[in-house]
Structure 1
């Protein structure tokens, strides 16, 4: 399969359709004209079937007919996607829900959801003959791109804001990326990266303007449809920064429904951090997002000027979903709650989704008789400083049994004999 399965690129702002010769955004609308990739679904349906899926490779490339790449190319060997889903009955009971499922995308190669997009990005860069690929990121997209570039033999240039957590910077450096730490916000790093890609001809991996990267993100929706099928919960919950993750997941779910591989569609619940929630305010008012200075410990969703908000709003409206915000305190509370009930350790942005679901149940947005799936978008080891804030410190003691007994008495641990 070459690229014949792709039909058009459609601008979500003006509705114009374009051929595949358009690089990033709508020529008429500029950077505001985010494009959406269209497929020949009749053609896709002939080969992407319920019967064909079991024999396919166990990663996101199993859905090749719905990905914007030339299958004749060499694909990255790293396994990305098809991450596990877990039933979480203890956590569901605590939240007061009928059922709760977690999808742990921290199991991807660089420990985050962003690997889905980066895998597509490096393939597209190679397809176009580019030797350098670049992005701006608060951490996860950066480490993801650095890892997949290393595996695929491309040079990566990463623009990160100064607040990026040290473990995420460490990943970039160990993968051999050229790391440029910008003395400013994510939005300032983004615009510098955008200008550099235009000047030097680097391939731009930023999902904010690159329509193909969102297609990688949609594979989480394709997988949820396949993994859960008729047991798909009524709500799919995702944290939101720029909006493309939520939009991508919804597109994947919708496509599987269109192909007859998902019996019905769930509702989407998007969650922003209160210190970085321009989309929540805009959706409530019916207007467009007004840029803000992002202030939240959930660095992966600290986006003050979202660019994919139109696709995200469309997903919320079409699914009859909801968009809300949570405080950093709620996020910090959700991190140990998830870990201690399920052993899934999520970073702050991932825990924001659980915090949002908790609030949605409390406020009656999600009914207690309903069920939900939370996508855990990044591993907690990405930001150990935040994790340490949420837990009790270790107990120091000398190597002495009497001292140990004294400590155990204070901890009131049950004896097994």
Structure 2
């Protein structure tokens, strides 16, 4: 950034890193931490990238910025751009959750709901950006975005007193976050601020797992269907595939896939043991960690950081699916007693 570039209006980053003892006991891990990036201004890690994009757009004296997104990049761009006085055009697939679309509209974005896949939305956004000359915030196109995403690793290292964890766990969609996480730790290692590099565990939903399949089958990645409740990582044609695969392999880490049922279970587990509310894509990493601990790949004494990339309020529909409905009663003590007795409460 140039010294004269206006600084962001919103507080981005500095999210808490919790030592989650109860969750660790449930999983059989003695040193488990959760980085809750759902506490960013628009409730996802993507704020880290969007604030950089917005500042660069202001620096280049642009007035309009655009991107395609499954939801979180969109809302983060719209919010950060609104705070800096920029117009936005946001292209989302028609399946984007209402919570995320509501954020976009409240932030004043021009929302284009593309009745197709994320790839369709990406292609249309690229054509529109070219036609009207808007500033491009798209993932894996704008090189500044990774510099924003890597800041989550810088914070983790600082919060652990510059003693890097053994594993960092993250949900994976287009591959930009996991490659940014790796770059952050590499930068710290090269300048001597940490003395080891963590292994990366990348987790994808089984219904959309082009990168995990490539790692597990030791082959080049191939496009996949987008069939999962974890909308933010439902990316059948990832835009940063090669960097993501290289990051996992260089770290000597691995990837794993989890079902939608396991993702919903991870939402409940995280909330009920830690008081942290993650959206489906935000907790997919935790679901994968549970699987690898059960398989003995990750040992009980290894130090693990799970990044929760988005807040559960972005997708209340699936949160209710995960947690269940409330107990409904008439304003009657007799009915309350009967309903609680039926459930063996309190």
Contact between 2:162 and 2:193, CA under 8 Å: does it hold in 1? no
RMSD between superposed Cα atoms in Å:
1.3
Corresponding residue for residue 95 of structure 2: 163
Q: Which runs of 4+ in 1 moved over 6 A?
A: none
SS of structure 2 residue aligned to 1:276: coil
- Answering whether residue 27 of structure 2 is matched by residue 70 of structure 1, we say no
Corresponding residue for residue 173 of structure 1: 105
TM-score (norm 1): 0.81
Moved more, 313-322 or 378-387: 313-322
Given candidates 38, 61, 84, the residue that maps to 1:152 is 84
Write the mapping of 1:105-144 to structure 2, written as runs, cut at 5 A.
105-144=37-76
Unaligned runs of 5+ in 1: 1-68
- Answering whether residue 289 of structure 2 is matched by residue 361 of structure 1, we say no
- Answering whether residue 53 of structure 2 is matched by residue 82 of structure 1, we say no
What is the CA-CA distance between 1:77 and the residue it aligns to? 1.7
Write the mapping of 1:325-404 to structure 2, written as runs, cut at 5 A.
325-404=257-336
Corresponding residue for residue 276 of structure 1: 208
Structure whose alpha-carbon radius of gyration is higher: 1
Contact between 1:224 and 1:253, CA under 8 Å: does it hold in 2? no
Distance in 2, matches of 1:372 and 1:252, equals 17
- Answering whether residue 146 of structure 2 is matched by residue 220 of structure 1, we say no
Corresponding residue for residue 31 of structure 2: 99
What is the CA-CA distance between 1:320 and the residue it aligns to? 0.8
Query: Can you list the C-alpha shifts for 1:233-273, whole angstroms capped at 9, x where unaligned?
Result: 21100000011100101111121222232232211110011
Query: Can you list the C-alpha shifts for 1:307-326, whole angstroms capped at 9, x where unaligned?
Result: 21111122112211111111
- Answering whether residue 170 of structure 2 is matched by residue 241 of structure 1, we say no
Contact between 1:186 and 1:303, CA under 8 Å: does it hold in 2? yes
What is the CA-CA distance between 1:90 and the residue it aligns to? 1.2
SS of structure 1 residue aligned to 2:283: helix
Query: Can you list the C-alpha shifts for 1:43-78, whole angstroms capped at 9, x where unaligned?
Result: xxxxxxxxxxxxxxxxxxxxxxxxxx2233111121
Query: Can you list the C-alpha shifts for 1:198-250, whole angstroms capped at 9, x where unaligned?
Result: 12111110122111111110110111111113553211000000111001011
Corresponding residue for residue 262 of structure 1: 194
Distance in 1, matches of 2:345 and 2:163, equals 39
Structure with the larger RCO, 1 or 2 (CA within 8 Å, 6+ apart):
2
Residues 1:412 and 1:206: Cα distance change in structure 2 (over 3 Å) = same
Contact between 1:136 and 1:189, CA under 8 Å: does it hold in 2? yes
Residues 1:369 and 1:194: Cα distance change in structure 2 (over 3 Å) = same
Contact between 2:215 and 2:254, CA under 8 Å: does it hold in 1? no
Corresponding residue for residue 321 of structure 1: 253
Corresponding residue for residue 3 of structure 1: none
